[in-house]
Structure formats: C-alpha cells, structure tokens
Structure 1
Amino acid sequence: MPTVRVGDLSDGDFLLDVREDDEWQAGHADGALHIPMSEFVARYGELTEAAPQDGRINVICRSGGRSAQVTMYLGQQGLDAVNVAGGMEAWAATGRPVVTADGAPGTVA
C-alpha cells in the first residue's frame, strides 16, 4: 500500500477526503476535495475533474482504513494515489489546521 506521512505533505498537495458528511462538517483540511467513500464510485468523475492530471492523489479519512481502500481502487484505475498514514487524527495531532466550511476551527470526528 503506497503511504505518505502527514509530515511529508506540502501545503499545495492534492488531498482527497473520503470521510462521511458529518465527519467532514465537524472539521477537515482546508482545500481538500470531499467525496465520501459511500458515494465514491458514483462521484468518481468529480475526482477526475479536480485532481491534477500528472500529480499524486493523497487520500485521507479519519484513521486510514477507508482511505486505504480508496487508494487501492485508484491504483487499480492507473492513478498515482497514496494513503495518508493515520488520517485526520494524525493530521490534527501534528498541528495541521482543521477547519469547518466557514473557516472556523474544527475538530476530527
């Protein structure tokens, strides 16, 4: 499983958040694309439109399980995708900002 640590991500890296709506609303990484895993196949086109054509897709969930599944799926589609180790829990633990839709401080749910 291709994996990246939160500390190895740069501010401009493309981030795909596959958590459910309630988790996203509680708090997320600013600038991430949100497509819940439960809707992923139906909304796959949104990813192909938003993702960099020749760049890596960093997939994140709460702790790494769901994002690992999506990472495997994307790899099977021939895309360069990696799982963010530890997910949003690791993101928050390293001091990276977690925000709500209006930019206020959020939490990892």
Structure 2
Amino acid sequence: MSHLDTVKVSEIPDGATILDVREDYEWVAGHAEGALHIPLDQLPSRIDELDPDEDLYVICRTGGRSFRAAQWLVGQGYSALNVAGGMDQWLETGMPLVSDNGLKPVIL
C-alpha cells in the first residue's frame, strides 16, 4: 500500500482542488468555496469527474471519511492528500465558508 500524505488546512495551497466527501446535508450547510463535492459512497461511480494528474485535497468533517477516500484514490493511481481535522479544523483556522441554503454557513 502506498503512503498517504496528511496535510493541515493551513498547508493547502491557493487554488488547490479540495474534494469534500461529506453527505449532501453537510455540504449544503457549509463548505469551502470552490470545493468539489462527491459524497464518499458516490466516489467509485463518480471518479471520472476527478483529474488523476491533479493533487486532490480530500476533506470531510473531522478526517475519518477523507482518510478512507484519499487512501482509495491513491490506490486508484490518483494524487490525494488527507486534510487533517477536516472542516472542523477549516472553521477553526478561520478559512472562508459558503452555504447553499441562504443561511449563515455552519459545519454540521
């Protein structure tokens, strides 16, 4: 098994591709602007939406689902990094959030 890199929210470069693997209800409530959203259970059927030549910064709420997703993506030949602490850490770091429901963005 290949090594999986874990990065902190503060280490995500500007313009990086962030892949959010949380559920729809979590995404709608609050997410990183410009992130891609593919729930973990849909990843195998939607992998073609991802660029295998791009570094993917995989995020969930706290880091568990994103770890599994990044591990699976690396196994498929993709370049994926797990974002430690997930969206909870994103919020704590003061990174911008957007919502899809017209309400103040929150992390569920």
TM beyond 0.5: yes
1: distance between equivalents of 2:74 and 2:60?
17
Q: 1:59 to 1:91 in 2, by over 3 A?
A: same
Shift of the alpha carbon at 1:10?
Answer: 2.3
What's the secondary structure of 1:15's corresponding residue? strand
Alignment partner, residue 87 of structure 2: 88
Describe the superposition over 1:13-42 as per-residue Cα deviations: whole angstroms up to 9, x where unpaired.
Answer: 110000000000000000000000021111
Alignment partner, residue 26 of structure 2: 23
What's the secondary structure of 1:31's corresponding residue? coil
Alignment partner, residue 56 of structure 2: 57
What is the total number of aligned residue pairs between the two structures? 105
**Higher relative strand content:** 2
Q: Match for 1:38 among 22, 38, 41? A: 41
Alignment partner, residue 97 of structure 2: 98
CA RMSD, Structure 1 to Structure 2 (Å): 1.6
Contact 1:16 1:57 in 2 (8 A): yes
Gaps of 5+ in 2: none
Amino acid at match of 1:55: E
Alignment partner, residue 71 of structure 1: 70
Task: State the TM-score, normalizing by the size of structure 1.
Answer: 0.89
Q: Which runs of 4 or more aligned residues in structure 1 lie more than 2 Å from their structure 2 counterparts after TM superposition?
A: 101-105
What's the secondary structure of 1:45's corresponding residue? helix
Contact 2:6 2:84 in 1 (8 A): yes
Task: State the TM-score, normalizing by the size of structure 2.
Answer: 0.89
